[in-house]
């Protein structure tokens, strides 16, 4: 737990995604996708899918290394629309198809060398999938650096691209 009192959760809409600052050390992202859970999970598990949607609009994935198993490493490098390269990386900790996976998550520019932990939960109702991802940060500074990086707009655009891909896979 954090050393300071956690504020009340604060939510805001960023496009079709909801972002909630759950605590001083947690950020939650959620969105409903018009696709079955199996397909939304698969889009996260297979590099041939991930390379088609990961990153904000106008970005291109130039590296997609993914060993989708507990203990497996992952590394994605994107080139942004302004030509900057950004690396994202981590390790898979838990995988329960098609319900959830947990990975460590870091990216260039975080002040800490230790990656945070992210949990992705996939639930399905009436053929639609709600994806809830919760990022657990090691410090308030790391959480705030992630927010300052523009990650909420980037995450919303990335999930827009995922929604577009899911329409083509059905």
Mean model confidence pLDDT for the chain: 91
Range of the domain at 117: 10-169
At residue 110, the pLDDT reads 59
Give the model confidence (pLDDT) of 71-85 as tens digits. 999 999 999 999 999
Number of domains in the chain: 1
Say if 2 falls within a structural domain.
Answer: no
* 10-14, strands of its sheet edge to edge: 10-14, 17-23, 26-33, 128-136, 116-125, 100-107, 85-96, 73-79, 60-66
Confidence of residue 164 (pLDDT cuts 50, 70, 90): very high
Instruction: Tell me if residue 134 falls in helix, strand or coil.
Output: strand
Say if 5 falls within a structural domain.
Answer: no
Confidence of residue 115 (pLDDT cuts 50, 70, 90): low
pTM to 2 decimals? 0.90
Say if 117 falls within a structural domain.
Answer: yes
Would you say residue 111 has pLDDT above 60?
no
Rounded distance, CA 140 to CA 129, Å?
Answer: 31
Say if 27 falls within a structural domain.
Answer: yes
Rounded distance, CA 45 to CA 98, Å?
Answer: 10
Q: What is the DSSP letter of 115?
A: -
Say if 1 falls within a structural domain.
Answer: no
Confidence of residue 2 (pLDDT cuts 50, 70, 90): very low
At residue 1, the pLDDT reads 45
Of 22, 1, 55, residue with least CA distance to 132: 22
Would you say residue 112 has pLDDT above 80?
no
Say if 87 falls within a structural domain.
Answer: yes
Give the model confidence (pLDDT) of 19-49 as tens digits. 999 999 999 999 999 999 999 999 999 999 9
Confidence of residue 149 (pLDDT cuts 50, 70, 90): confident
Instruction: Tell me if residue 47 falls in helix, strand or coil.
Output: helix
Say if 4 falls within a structural domain.
Answer: no
Of 117, 109, 120, 113, residue with least CA distance to 137: 117
Say if 78 falls within a structural domain.
Answer: yes
Cα–chain center distance at 132:
9
Q: Are 123 and 130 a contacting pair, CB within 8 Å?
A: yes
> Can you give the CATH number for the domain in which 117 is found?
3.30.530.20
């Amino acid at each position: 737990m954090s050393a300071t009192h956690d504020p009340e959760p604060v939510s805001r809409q960023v496009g079709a995604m909801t972002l909630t600052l759950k605590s001083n050390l947690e950020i939650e992202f959620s969105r409903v996708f018009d696709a079955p859970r199996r397909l939304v999970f698969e889009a996260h598990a297979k590099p041939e899918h991930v390379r088609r949607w990961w990153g904000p609009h106008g970005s291109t994935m130039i590296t997609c290394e993914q060993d989708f198993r507990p203990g497996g490493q992952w590394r994605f490098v994107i080139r942004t629309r302004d030509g900057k390269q950004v690396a994202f990386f981590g390790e898979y900790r838990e995988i329960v198809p098609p319900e959830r996976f947990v990975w460590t998550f870091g990216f260039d520019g975080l002040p800490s060398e230790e990656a945070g932990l992210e949990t992705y939960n996939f639930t399905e109702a009436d053929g639609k999938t709600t994806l809830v991802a919760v990022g657990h940060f090691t410090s308030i500074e790391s959480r705030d650096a992630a927010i300052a990086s523009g990650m909420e707009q980037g995450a919303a655009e990335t999930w827009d691209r995922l929604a577009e891909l899911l329409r083509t896979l059905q």
